[in-house]
Chains A and B, each alone.
Chain A
């Protein structure tokens, strides 16, 4: 029973990490109609920025805080230099161009930051564990991940629904020409939204870094998971991304945690572990296919799309 609660927590925690990554992706897609495969590269760059800045300042908090504007800036540069002229193109062109950006960023990161990879050591206060209930200590830092994920979800909701920027964003998303005619600077708005998406990706990257180490290509596989999340949730819907991230995180963890034991009843442990690993990786994609077969536009289809 304790193990089950612990695994649910693990799933929630992974889900929230995924949500951080997916939120930026779904925002950019929902508002600008841009498929950005290079979102994973921004995730990686955010982690590298945080690692370097943590080293320079000697503080994880400071490093993380400084990495966000740095990533925002990088996002703006990428938008202005490469992606701006892609908005009017079809999704295929966008997929291809941003695929090219992935290749570029991977090699560039290796040349700039070296091949050794980096780690972000946690400050003393976050290294320990918190006793949730008797017999169940849980790493403090994982709670921080959960807290940041939830805070981020709330502030995004607030930003989109309650603020003037959010109003502009919603106006731009539902009717580009109309908003432009009313005097909204659409180009600047888009640049800003893309920068915000980049900062969100960086936040995900730097939150994951103390757990997973910073290295070249770290964004590639998790990117596909993030895409699965936004597709299940309904592209463009932050709320959908939130729900889907939970589903994916839980399904993945529960599969990894309990399938091997079930299969061991039938076949030898090494084979069972191998097979279980394959099956649990598949579960996520089966979920996505099922959702799309039943609801071709995801769980929470964004209006006007």
Chain B
């Protein structure tokens, strides 16, 4: 009985969900990110940034109301791909944005760009789309996976690290990152570990190897919960003060409250922190704190830029969402007030950006904050970009 009722309700809902789209009175954006599971807090931060960006533009683009459909990718490539298909084919969105994970982006991009819908990637750094598979319908407000590690390699050269160990998760971004770092790092690589991703939680075997190598520094990339676990275990093993950690993406506003003192002393290269001195950034950070009572992450910052980039495209086409050429031309100009200061896109439609050295400090009130120390690379471009044939 209950079974039958649920079934009927289910099919009725299904019928509702697939009804045809209405005329173009609004701007529709599909936003794919991770909203459930262990890394849902990243997705939530991105969603908050979308909402703030919309608030700042009066929830309208070129006079048209904006509708955002949030979809959860469950951190799984095939789920992301299904959601992308649904957004494009069923909801008939004009833009698809979001994407935390490279592997989700890799699986999801084709149905979007094939349908000539603009994909504005807010975080994933799959180098394929930065380079050889660059696409007129693919824009990004992030970077290529090799860029932050390349900056880190450079920074470690500057700091005189002669022997280093590299460790990361065994997936596309992880391998991209280690490769990017290896190409820039001039010292000797005494060991490389790729851990089971995303299942592995205990790093004791790898940490023992690091202790017994004669490394002077450890380069690592673990985003989200894994980064916290690695740093915690590394600290418990008593290694943090002996062999310094050099990270990309592990330290952010989500991990600092959990890591606490363990975060202090970890050196990182990254694209953004809350203290960047640009007016747009200060407004973003202040209002984000006011609205959500928390400091935004770089995921949020890049998302904020992505929504603004979409708005600039819609404005450039004067609200005519059918005029793809005008939208693209306007977005390529990247005429937005970015939280990262002067903002420009390369021919591959991916930002040309500055990369900073970042550290963590414990403030007087007991909170932890991430500070920018110096600029490591100016106008950085992914090494994959040269493979892009687009002008």
From B229, B236, B254, contact of A139 by CB (8 A): B236
A85 at the interface (CB under 8 A from B): no
Q: Is the interface of A mostly helix, strand, loop or mixed?
A: helix
Shortest Cβ distance from residue B52 to the other chain A in the assembled complex, whole angstroms: 18
Complex Cα distance, B178 from A274, in Å, reads: 12
From A106, A118, A211, A257, contact of B202 by CB (8 A): A211
Docked-complex contact A117 and B258, CB < 8 angstroms:
yes
Docked-complex contact A10 and B258, CB < 8 angstroms:
no
Shortest Cβ distance from residue B85 to the other chain A in the assembled complex, whole angstroms: 24
When distances are taken between beta carbons in the complex, the residues of chain B under 8 Å from A107 are 36
Docked-complex contact A3 and B209, CB < 8 angstroms:
yes
Given that A139-B238, A256-B206 are known contacts, is A116 also in contact with B254, CB under 8 Å in the complex? Answer: yes
From B178, B212, B237, contact of A270 by CB (8 A): B178
Complex Cα distance, B225 from A119, in Å, reads: 10
Interface residues in A1-35 by Cβ distance below 8 A to B read: 2-3, 6-7, 10-11, 13-14
Complex Cα distance, B194 from A127, in Å, reads: 27
Complex Cα distance, B41 from A110, in Å, reads: 10
Complex Cα distance, B200 from A277, in Å, reads: 10
From B38, B175, B178, contact of A117 by CB (8 A): B38
When distances are taken between beta carbons in the complex, the residues of chain A under 8 Å from B258 are 116-119, 213
Closest residue of chain A to B208 (Cβ to Cβ) is A6
B380 at the interface (CB under 8 A from A): no
B51 at the interface (CB under 8 A from A): no
Docked-complex contact A142 and B232, CB < 8 angstroms:
no
**Interface residue count for A (Cβ, 8 Å)?**
48
Contact mask B185-223 → A, CB, 8 Å, 1/0? 000010011111001011011101101100000000000
A57 at the interface (CB under 8 A from B): no
When distances are taken between beta carbons in the complex, the residues of chain B under 8 Å from A14 are 202, 204
Docked-complex contact B205 and A129, CB < 8 angstroms:
no
Closest residue of chain B to A260 (Cβ to Cβ) is B193
Given that A6-B208, A127-B236 are known contacts, is A212 also in contact with B194, CB under 8 Å in the complex? Answer: no
Given that A7-B205, A115-B41, A256-B206 are known contacts, is A2 also in contact with B238, CB under 8 Å in the complex? Answer: no
Complex Cα distance, B224 from A217, in Å, reads: 14
When distances are taken between beta carbons in the complex, the residues of chain B under 8 Å from A129 are 236-238
Given that A13-B204, A110-B40, A115-B41 are known contacts, is A273 also in contact with B238, CB under 8 Å in the complex? Answer: no
Closest residue of chain A to B201 (Cβ to Cβ) is A212
Complex Cα distance, B243 from A37, in Å, reads: 41
Closest residue of chain A to B235 (Cβ to Cβ) is A127
When distances are taken between beta carbons in the complex, the residues of chain A under 8 Å from B170 are 273-274, 277-278
Q: Which 10 A-B pairs rank lowest in CB-CB distance, beginning with the nearest?
A: A115-B40, A273-B194, A215-B38, A10-B204, A212-B201, A115-B41, A129-B238, A257-B205, A3-B212, A139-B236
A sample of 15 more A-B contacts (CB under 8 A), given A117-B41, A137-B237, A142-B204, is A10-B205, A115-B44, A116-B254, A129-B238, A139-B237, A211-B202, A211-B232, A213-B225, A215-B38, A216-B37, A253-B204, A270-B178, A273-B192, A274-B170, A278-B170
- The 25 listed contacts between A and B (C-beta, < 8 Å) are A3-B209, A6-B208, A6-B211, A11-B205, A106-B36, A106-B37, A110-B36, A117-B41, A117-B258, A119-B228, A119-B258, A119-B259, A129-B236, A137-B237, A139-B233, A141-B236, A211-B229, A211-B233, A213-B229, A216-B37, A216-B40, A253-B204, A260-B192, A270-B194, A273-B192
